[in-house]
Structure 1
Amino acid sequence: MLRDKIVAYMVEADIIKENERKVYCFGLQLIEEMFFSFCVFLLIGILFGNVVETIVFFGAFAVLRQYAGGFHAKKFISCLAISCCIITTLNLLLIFFTDFTWAIIPCAAVGLPAIFVLSPVDSVYKYINKNEVKKYRKCSTVILLIEFVIMLLLVLTSKYSMAFCISYAWLVLSALLVLGRYKNRAGTRE
């Protein structure tokens, strides 16, 4: 694979040490998966004619999820399938409804407090120590506040479908946080 060749070159050129090879391979794998996922989501947005809204959702969700955490699927393909269902649902909602003012407040009313109270939630794939909990909670709170201001500006400028995409991202993330907490308490952390 290309990532293996890149990392091999980095080791040979003394950019990284041999014992760091696995970490860099894993990091490049995550970048590849994120890029591939974004391309698939973009394709779904193009197919439904909602490219900008799909990007708004992905941006709000991905940036916040990085610090909030939550449930993680065991395999990339499972994660991609679940994510495609979430993005497709968003796009179907955008097609079938023209007025989103009714949906923004309930999604935000559920998502905002849940994210604020529950985040960060670790998993078997990303353990968070006590120091990181404080840092991640602060980061997720700041991001949430920034997204809230952006959502308010979108509402004030009558861009209701885009504001809905942000509140929908919060609703989805809050569900993943609850599921992640449940799995952690059940002792599976998966």
Structure 2
Amino acid sequence: MLSYLSNRLVDFLLDNNIIKKEEKEIYVYGYQIIIASLISILLVSVFGLVFHRFFESIVFLVIFIYTRQCSGGYHAKTFLSCSVLFLSLYMLLLLFVEIFQNEIDIYQIICILLIYLLTIIKYAPLQNENKILSQQTIIVNRRKSIVISVVWILLALGLFPWFRRFSIVITLTLGMIAMLMLIEKLRKEGQA
């Protein structure tokens, strides 16, 4: 389905002389990423509405997407497995928040946030073999990763006394990002 839609869009661009024929594969791949991402975002939003957790879903999406753009991390081999992993992480997040909302204390929050921050400081940004970064982009993404991490951490800690649920959503989302980064780092080391 992704391939079909992407090819149709690119064929339209080709027919109207908007892009060059030799750019077709790049555009098809780009549109596949965009469509797969939009589907995942839409599904998370719909699940958020269905489970009456729309605001938690928005917090998850903003933090996960924005942070991963700068920090990198594990990348699935196919769009389907990427979407399944993304939705599974989201559902796992909702489940953990429901079960442990009243059990998690500030010390556990701090522990998860410290692990996340140390992972960012040590490894960000992790590169993807499909998107090699220039040295300048690596420096910029590293700085962005650290700055945005400090913002998320301060937000999670600041919200904890009054909006515990949102603090936990932020913290667990950051914990998942750290986990995905560590998985990717271990995967790359296993290939070396």
TM-score of the superposition, structure 1-length normalised? 0.87
Partner of 1:185: 189
Partner of 2:43: 40
Runs of 4+ in 1 over 6 A off after TM superposition: none
AA at the equivalent of 1:159 = F
Cα RMSD between the aligned structures?
Answer: 2.0
Tell me if the contact between 2:40 and 2:83 (Cα under 8 Å) persists in the aligned partners.
Answer: yes
Distance 1:95 1:47 in 2: 15
Aligned with 2:139 (options 117, 134, 147): 134
Q: Secondary structure at the match of 2:160?
A: helix
Amino-acid identity (%): 24
Distance 1:13 1:38 in 2: 30
The 3 A distance-change label for structure 1 pair 173 and 149 is same
Distance 1:149 1:21 in 2: 44
Distance 2:12 2:85 in 1: 35
Partner of 2:61: 58
TM-score of the superposition, structure 2-length normalised? 0.86
Tell me if the contact between 1:123 and 1:180 (Cα under 8 Å) persists in the aligned partners.
Answer: no
The 3 A distance-change label for structure 1 pair 127 and 29 is same
**Unaligned stretches of 5+ residues in structure 2:** none
Q: Secondary structure at the match of 1:35?
A: helix
AA at the equivalent of 1:25 = V
Is 1:172 paired with 2:176?
yes
Q: In the TM superposition, what are the counterparts of 1:111-130 in structure 2 within 5 Å? A: 111-130=116-135
**C-alpha displacement of 1:153:** 4.1
Aligned length: 187
Distance 1:73 1:141 in 2: 24
**Unaligned stretches of 5+ residues in structure 1:** none
Aligned with 1:93 (options 93, 96, 99): 96
